[in-house]
């Protein structure tokens, strides 16, 4: 599983939006990697930020 899939998995398993530091801790990767991945995922439209510095998987519908 690559780092991007790992970040998505952590977000999918979480009941609430997470901060990048929390994602990094749960995924076991660096916060710098998480920041880059979140930027890419947001550009791809796979995640959203319901409030500043918190991220969650975008819900369809």
- CATH number for the domain running over 3-57: 1.10.10.10
pTM for the whole structure:
0.91
Residue with tokens 């999918």: 12
Going through the chain in order, the beta strands assigned E by DSSP cover 47-51, 54-57
Q: In Å, how far are 45, 47 from 18, measured between CA atoms?
A: 17, 11
Q: Which two tokens stand for residue 24?
A: 């990094």
What pLDDT score does 1 carry?
A: 85
User: For 9-45, what is each residue's pLDDT tens digit?
Assistant: 999 999 999 999 999 999 999 999 999 999 999 999 9
């Amino acid at each position: 599983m690559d780092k991007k899939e790992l970040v998505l998995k952590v977000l999918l398993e979480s009941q609430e939006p997470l901060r990048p530091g929390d994602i990094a801790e749960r995924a076991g990767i660096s916060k710098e990697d998480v920041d880059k991945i979140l930027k890419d995922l947001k550009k791809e439209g796979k995640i959203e930020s319901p409030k500043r510095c918190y991220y969650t998987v975008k819900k369809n519908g």
